[in-house]
A and B are shown apart, each in its own frame.
Chain A
């Protein structure tokens, strides 16, 4: 299928914000409009023809973005990055934060010459999926929700009904897996976790799962804590949470909707928030990198994840082995090519740059 067959229409996306990014089939880019509570599929029409292979470094990324956008550094909020699967160009979601012209911008960084341009969000081939408060629930999903509990007697009346998943006000991450966009987020009102599955090309359908995990450092089963970051992995997703469990959810369970219980495979440390996750290959074996607010970059062998039994005991064991890399200040990450992982790294003075880490050196 070519991107022309995805049902995209050229025009103004009407996006109010731009956050998490992920490439999907035929180079389509999914972008979260968290303020508008929707996901937009974009044809970024990347002008490069050949894939660049050199590593990419850009010192003072925020300074370069502020210059390009014609604003002060304080007005630049970098939200996410994604690498074009065919050309290797880098796409950055940026909020030009303040002022009457405050607006979402999708910046393209040319891998070959380091120049910046942007995808015009007011004139681009796109399709939109609104995140409904009450998802268009199909019968199967409805059954799952209703089947969860008996009706409850209250004031002499027996009442039962479906629960509508929490409204998302902030989308924390998204990814394309098995024909659908998965969207994780949290609500500004209810402290609750929801993962939505939106089949692509968009056709109005979507399903929501309530997620349950065992939180090792909390020593408790939890349903409220939201996913912070996740990546597709081994027939499902690997999700990281604040304080900091790493959990696998099988795709088959997520596709059905309803309540899904994950397999906690690691506890990466408390008092911490995961900032980035990326998978890459090293000597033929798949590896996972996780960046954090409170800990150095960590590397985990995916084979260990696959054979890890579910953690269900408080505090320990901590699950799969992990290696702390001698790399500090890393936040956002993406796979750049076979040999490099692209990271946003802050120096001691807090100046953030784009760096290419050699996977062989990790």
Chain B
């Protein structure tokens, strides 16, 4: 059988010399083993062009995948050369968060930021947490990876550590303990095989090593944050330094300067936030609203602690309707 690739109306098609009698197309790995008695063929339609058979697939042929044409029910298979993948990937890991050297033992989540939109279904295969000393995988550290938690642009993936192993008093915690061990070093590894939305692997794998420190407990307390007030007439950033490292994505979402156009963004390490107004500051009081959903890296929010000590009244949650705000006084320039 004489087979090859062709192009028709901009689509990649499969061409077979001669009439399309009893021909079926399969991805080659579907022919391996004989688990599918019916041998469901690939969806598509056959056309005849100048006496030759042309297969137009319902779903486009994929670069890197091997395809075969079979005659009749049990005829020989003609395997086509693979369509090469479009080069090695340019997509890379931009950041592994939290961007901290030391993370609390009760850390709730990691996040991996990529330079391009990614494919789904690779998190469980291509991300692992291992001990830094011997490279052994930390067993049962993550909550199941499905459904994968992507942001809308599919560039940031959140990976939750198993919350039931973090909350004290729960059976999984009592039986298996914290996923992380204080004083030990762990490494979050992203394999280069993680595919981007174009189906390509990463330009390189990535890893970040963390020292595991003491637990991070109690509510996030905005009243303890230090605020550096900008001066009127300037566009100096209004800076806030937090009492602890906060979740970077939530910080971007949960802090707002009321009624003042401008741009706020979290520091990479989640320890601070800066807001630059579109127009120079004017003298007066500026209000920074804090959504109580704002969480630290251990999942404690302004409204409630993640792992509440029922005997400690300081852990009592705030009411769900509360919004917390900081007031900042913008004074005149001293010069």
Residues of A at under 8 Å CB distance from B? 17, 19, 34-35, 37, 59-60, 63-64, 66-75, 77, 95-103, 105, 114-118, 145-146, 148-152, 154-157, 159-164, 166, 169-172, 186-192, 210, 217-220, 224-225, 242-243, 259, 270-271, 273, 293, 314-315, 351
Contact = CB atoms under 8 A, between A and B. Distances in A.
B268 to A, nearest CB: 17
B122 to A, nearest CB: 8
The A contact surface, by secondary structure, is: loop
A70 B172 contact: no
B171 interface: yes
Interface string B290-301: 011101000101
Nearest to B322: A152
Contacts of A105: 59
Given A67-B41, A156-B327, 17 more contacts: A60-B36, A63-B40, A66-B27, A77-B121, A97-B120, A118-B43, A145-B321, A151-B321, A151-B322, A163-B320, A169-B152, A170-B147, A171-B147, A188-B149, A220-B308, A270-B172, A273-B144
24 contacts: A19-B147, A63-B30, A63-B35, A66-B30, A67-B27, A69-B59, A70-B59, A70-B61, A72-B29, A99-B64, A99-B198, A154-B324, A159-B323, A159-B325, A163-B320, A164-B291, A188-B150, A190-B295, A191-B109, A219-B170, A225-B163, A270-B164, A270-B175, A271-B175
A225 B170 CA distance: 14
Given A35-B154, A37-B152, A243-B172, A152 B121 contact: no
Contacts of B299: 191
A73 B167 CA distance: 37
A58 B40 CA distance: 11
A60 B35 contact: yes
B159 to A, nearest CB: 10
B310 to A, nearest CB: 8
B120 A95 contact: yes
A98 B201 CA distance: 10
A95 B36 CA distance: 20
Given A64-B40, A163-B292, A271 B151 contact: no
Size range of the chain B interface in the assembly: 35 or more
Contacts, number: 229
Nearest to A16: B154
B195 interface: yes
A67 B121 contact: no
A306 to B, nearest CB: 27
Contacts of B292: 163
A70 B325 contact: no
A65 to B, nearest CB: 8
A189 B253 contact: yes
Contacts of B119: 97-99, 102
B281 interface: no
Given A159-B325, A161-B321, A218 B169 contact: yes
Interface in B157-189: 157-158, 160, 163-164, 167, 169-172, 175-176
B63 interface: yes
A273 B57 CA distance: 38
A133 to B, nearest CB: 10
Contacts of B203: none
B156 interface: yes
B60 A100 contact: yes
Contacts of B282: none
Closest 8 CB pairs of A and B: A149-B319, A99-B199, A60-B35, A170-B147, A188-B149, A67-B30, A101-B60, A70-B42
B38 interface: yes
Report which residue of B29, B35, B152, B299 has the largest number of chain A beta carbons within 10 angstroms of its beta carbon.
Answer: B35
A212 B62 CA distance: 46
A148 B320 CA distance: 7
Interface string B92-124: 000000000000000011000000000111100
Contacts of A75: 62, 65, 121
A97 B79 CA distance: 23
Nearest to B86: A100
Given A95-B121, A169-B149, A170-B149, A148 B67 contact: no
Contacts of A67: 26-27, 30, 36, 39-42
A70 B25 contact: yes
A100 B198 contact: yes
A71 B43 CA distance: 11
Interface string B39-80: 111111000000000000111111111010000000000000
A36 B138 CA distance: 33
A23 B217 CA distance: 45
B137 interface: no
Contacts of B249: 188-189
Given A64-B36, A95-B120, A148 B321 contact: yes
Contacts of B139: none
A96 B59 contact: yes
A77 B149 contact: no
